[in-house]
Structure 1
Amino acid sequence: MSEHNPTVFIIDDDGVVRDTIGQLVETVDLNSKTFASAEEFLASYDPIQSGCLVLDVRMPGISGLKLQSRLKENNAHIPIIFISGHGDIQMAAQAFKNGAVDFIEKPFRNQVLLDQIQEAIARDTQLRQKQTIRKAARDKLESLTQREQEVLDLVTAGNANKVIATKLELSQRTVEVHRASIMEKLQVDSVAELVTLVGGANDMQ
């Protein structure tokens, strides 16, 4: 299974529910994997795999909410759609607080669940794209020397070359050379692009 093909991970201790959702997902040409427990899922899940999670909130052992918390603690930001046979406002509030895409009560309408699955996969794709951009930006920043990093910090803070030269006890010509080197290494043409790149590298969302 390719990590680039989104997979809908279905976790429910009710085999009928698992099979029903799995068959539903296949009608829109999505991959699915089913698990009878959170423990079974955790034993095989690789965060590099894209997709989303359809998760029963009440299960023996590790509950749906506990699994959500554990994944969040481990920086596994897979979008989660909760399903529940027992509507609980407090549980729903907790799920949404921790970033759930939706909290759907059983019995659910097939199209409602499919719409939320598509939304969750779109969210996952967007997040992974941001992560790729952030990593590329960080890799570029790591190519800078310590002095270039110091100059960059002052440039993106809005300081002119003369001010930077004074603060770092350098000549303006040296600052200009460092700026030119920074622009070349980071493959940008303006201070605005520099600010955007640095912001992207530091973006944790």
Structure 2
Amino acid sequence: MKLIKMLSYVVAGLLASAGASASPLVNGDFSTGDLSGWTSNGSVNVIDWGFNTTGSALTGDLFAGLGTDVPTTLTETFHLDAGDTFTGQAQWIGWDYLPNNDYGSVSIVDDTTTNSTTLFSGDIATYGDFGSSAVNSFQFIAPTTGDYTITAAVANAGDNSSPSELQVANFAVTAVPVPSAFWLFGTVLAGFAAGKRRFGNAE
């Protein structure tokens, strides 16, 4: 009986832990039509005429303009379990020319270790005067369980006129599949329970 109880606690705990990570990201596709779940600074809007043609067809649109090297930002902190995959899309749209090397990026930070990973970046030097990138898709697999912060940012450089633009869309998290070991515990537990019943009936 003690072993059965122990197994039941293990299974319940593991399954509850797996289920808790099902929806760690809020409004990643901007389907609410606004920035619910996000924190923004500067000119950030949700538009329906951006590059996005999949999912909710809504796009987060950031414009520089807060000052030289002062980024407009869009951020959200959420939980990932080790092995979870974070995905998204971004496009750089330059509205300036060299030597004013406006720049933008999408990055994710592990809030525990402060390790930062750049998922996308663009600037005038890379894509040319008034140039744009293609729509870039990216993914990040969480190395450890914990909280992570996604940040999209764009800034003017050299001056604070002709602000460049960064568009982002379709942020999503795919949870790591529940390990087969979880179900093995359940099978063992069921076997013990069935054996216990048969033994009791035999008495």
Superposition TM-score, scaled by structure 1 size: 0.29
Name the one with the larger helix percent. Answer: 1
Determine which structure has the larger strand proportion and give its number: 2
